[in-house]
Amino acid sequence: MGPLQEIGHLIVQTLGSLYLLIVMLRFLLQLARADFYNPISQFAVKATNPLLIPIRRVVPGIFGIDMSSLVLGLIIQILVFYLSAFIFQVGGANPVNVLVWSLVGLLSLVANIFFWGLLIMVIASWVAPHSQNPALLLVRQLVEPVMAPFRKLIPDMGGIDISPIFAFLALNVVQILIRHLAAATGMGPAVQQMILGI
């Protein structure tokens, strides 16, 4: 692989992954009913609206779920794959396989968002437990739906909340299942690098 290929791949992966992260954050924040007026929520809305508004005309929401954000995320993931394949001069990928791989990539991204969100929440609870920082408030709102079932099952241990341990364990199990799902769909190491970033 030459330097131009590496640079091209770096640019495509970085910009594509960043925009995909913003799209999926918008989807998850809407799903979690997070504060719409938070500055970070507003940034996600403004960054994604130019592409989402046309898709919304074709793809309606279902049961309050913003399907257009999912469709946009899928389109971006597929586009990043094909641009990376073009840079590496790899052709012949079956479009059905690319669609399945892109879905697996979105699942992996969602699991990673929750993993890092939970990690940020745990660290913030030690360092700044009563912080009103807009980013931390949004992370709490995003992660709370994942934490709620564990908090119901695990009683409070004298003021120490150990439910994040079980949430981390569950997320690690999900990530293992996603890796095995990726292998089962025929996603080789090169494709995993292009889609999952591993």
Read off φ and ψ for residue 49, nearest 5 degrees: -55, -45
| 3-class state of residue 90 by DSSP | coil
For 198, other C-beta atoms within 10 Å of its C-beta total 9
Instruction: Indicate the residue type of 152.
Output: K
* Predicted local distance difference test score (pLDDT) of residue 193: 65
Which pTM value belongs to this model?
0.86
Number of domains in the chain: 1
* Predicted local distance difference test score (pLDDT) of residue 71: 93
| 3-class state of residue 157 by DSSP | strand
pLDDT in tens, 71-82: 999 999 999 888
* Predicted local distance difference test score (pLDDT) of residue 197: 61
pLDDT in tens, 104-151: 989 999 999 999 999 998 898 888 877 888 888 899 899 988 888 888
Domain boundaries, position 49: 3-195
| Mean pLDDT value across residues 4-30 | 90
State yes or no: pLDDT of 1 exceeds 70. Answer: no
- Whether 20 and 76 have beta carbons less than 8 Å apart is answered as yes
Which residues does 106 contact at the CB level (< 8 Å), separation at least 6?
24, 70, 73, 74, 77
- Whether 118 and 143 have beta carbons less than 8 Å apart is answered as yes
pLDDT in tens, 14-25: 899 999 999 999
Please, what sign has the CA dihedral across residues 38, 137, 60, 185?
A: positive
